[in-house]
Amino acid sequence: MVIRKDVRRALKLVKDVIASRKAQRALRGPLKSRELREDNHFKIAVYFADGPVNMYQMRQWFQPLATLAKTWPVLVLSRTGGGTLKLMKESPVPVAYARTVPQLEQIVAEQDIRIVFYVNQNPRNFQMMRYGRCWHVFINHGESDKMYMITNQFKAYDYSFVAGDAALARLDRVLWDYDFDKRAITIGRPQADYFSGELPYTPDERQVVLYAPTWEGDRAAAAYGSIASHGVALVTALLASGTHRVIYRPHPRSGVVDHAYGAANKTIIAAIAAANARDPHAQHVYDFSPDLGWQLAAADVAIVDISAMVYDRLATGKPLMITRPVNPTAVIDTSGYLSDCEWLSADQTSDIVVHVDRLTHDDQAVGRLQGWVQLYFGDTTHGVATARLHEAVQHLMDEWDRFAAVHDADAPIMPDPATSRGDE
């Protein structure tokens, strides 16, 4: 077993190297033809040091960033070849590729970057954070009660944009000597203002159930994934009911650590294909599209793991169930919504039709849900969160102007001796 895992790791490393070199070759054309403005045009940068596998962290911000760019020009700073290729194909705002620190340094020197957004905690973020005269802002890639959301790394940033009161309370429990009034700015969930899209099926009398599990995690404390423990049984039962339509949207990293988890994922995908072959009118959906929005808005009921998907769905105010992790060491923060959510244990999955029906007819559960929506996101009226995002950015721009008035904001950025040799 150990040898087999080592072989898989070695093969993955080889594939990663090959993919990286292939991306470098593919970028030669686009980079030569790209015209990055050099007139201090861009005011906001979004820093992304990851590859294609974590592109979901950027995709959810595409629409809010596109709207924001109408007021404050936005530039994505990408650090990997594969990630850059994806971004250049998908991003609605311009993308600049900075493989090395000197290349990054040149872009920063050419632009008037005043705010830098970060969507994750990649260690390479610190290569960007050494630059002063701009605000470094953690915007994250989703709201949740996972252990990822209570890290002391929040202190590394000048500011953090958080969803609402629940996020503030969560951080207040773990961060010492942190100025919440200044550094944590609540904006709601602006992505929810863009939860729309063309449906890949024709709506009918079938009840639509979204099953959106996360990946298996890289350690026991974060083993929230349910595909192997819950997924096969619950999808099988829903496909057999004849009255439900399944939208299956697995996390793109499903199976990267645990081969068995990946195999269970393939079993579900095959079962959906077989069900559609038997009854084309069922129109079950295996969703691997890059866009997230219509799935959350269209589903009558959502079944999700402990992940940001809980709170993406919560922002819609519609019924949802959370799978209870089977690993006893998985960390569950029950001080927030998870203390009052609708749990689905692995031994309940064969009766999922009964549980879905009960949940959709439980008026008390719907009422409790609305209270949690308010606590986590505040006013979810369409457009309110987008307005709060723009107000937060305007506030930081005003703060930049205030500091620039008393400091030399136009002083040239001096090369770092450690990177002048071309170090990455």
CATH number at residue 239: 3.40.50.2000
Is the domain of 264 the same as that of 173?
Answer: no
Among 43, 202, 25, CA closest to 117: 43
Is the domain of 252 the same as that of 348?
Answer: yes
**How many structural domains are present in the chain?**
2
Is the domain of 36 the same as that of 169?
Answer: yes
pLDDT of 424 reads: 46
Judged by phi (left if over 0) then psi (alpha if -120 to 50, else beta), residue 93 lies in beta
Is the domain of 235 the same as that of 177?
Answer: no
What value does the CA radius of gyration of the chain take, rounded to a whole number of Å?
23
Bridge partners of 389?
none
Cα 392 from Cα 342, distance rounded (Å): 34
Residue 364 lies in a domain: yes
Residue 14 has pLDDT above 70, yes or no: no
Is the domain of 227 the same as that of 372?
Answer: yes
Residue 10 has pLDDT above 90, yes or no: no
Report how far Cα 330 is from the mean position of its chain's Cα atoms: 20
Count of helix runs (H) and strand runs (E) in the chain: 15, 13
Helix, strand, coil percentages (3-state) for the chain, rounded to 5, are 45, 10, 40
Residue 22 has pLDDT above 90, yes or no: no
Residue 196 lies in a domain: no
Is the domain of 306 the same as that of 217?
Answer: yes
pTM given for the model: 0.79
Is the domain of 31 the same as that of 176?
Answer: yes
Of all residues in the chain, the percent with pLDDT exceeding 70 is: 85
Cα 120 from Cα 100, distance rounded (Å): 19
Cβ atoms of residues 46 and 111 within 8 Å: no
Residues 326-384: tens digit of each pLDDT: 999 998 888 789 999 999 999 999 999 999 999 998 888 888 999 999 999 999 999 99
pLDDT of 32 reads: 47
Cα 263 from Cα 256, distance rounded (Å): 11
Confidence of residue 422 (pLDDT cuts 50, 70, 90): very low
Residue 29 has pLDDT above 70, yes or no: no
Cα 192 from Cα 146, distance rounded (Å): 20
Torsion angle (degrees, nearest 10) of CA 51, 53, 59, 61:
-70
Residue 419 lies in a domain: no
Residue 35 lies in a domain: yes
Residue 201 has pLDDT above 50, yes or no: yes
* Domain extent at residue 287: 207-377
Residue 252 lies in a domain: yes
What is the full DSSP assignment across 190-244? GGGGG-----SS---SSEEEEEE-----SSGGG----IIIIIHHHHHHHHHHSSE
Residues 241-299: tens digit of each pLDDT: 999 999 999 998 899 999 999 999 999 999 999 999 999 999 999 999 888 889 999 99
Is the domain of 392 the same as that of 369?
Answer: no
Residue 353 lies in a domain: yes
Is the domain of 57 the same as that of 96?
Answer: yes
Q: What mean pLDDT, rounded, does the chain reach?
A: 88
pLDDT of 4 reads: 57
Torsion angle (degrees, nearest 10) of CA 354, 357, 363, 364:
30
Residue 117 burial (C-beta neighbours within 10 Å; 0-12, 13-18, 19+):
buried
Cβ atoms of residues 283 and 248 within 8 Å: no
Is the domain of 151 the same as that of 232?
Answer: no
Residue 410 lies in a domain: no
Is the domain of 274 the same as that of 372?
Answer: yes
- Interval 143-162 mean pLDDT: 83
Token pair, residue 73, equals 């020009």
- Interval 406-410 mean pLDDT: 71
- Interval 59-65 mean pLDDT: 95
User: Which range, of 18-27, 104-113, 290-299, averages the lowest pLDDT?
Assistant: 18-27
Give, in order, the Cα–Cα distances in Å from 136 to each of 42, 124, 171, 274, 285: 15, 14, 18, 49, 39
Token pair, residue 228, equals 């192997």
Residue 7 makes CB contacts below 8 A (sequence gap 6+) with none
Is the domain of 43 the same as that of 164?
Answer: yes
Residue 412 lies in a domain: no
Among 377, 396, 419, which residue terminates a domain? 377
Confidence of residue 33 (pLDDT cuts 50, 70, 90): very low
Higher pLDDT, 40 or 106: 106
Dihedrals φ, ψ of 96, to 5°? -120, 135
- Interval 219-244 mean pLDDT: 96
Of all residues in the chain, the percent with pLDDT exceeding 90 is: 71
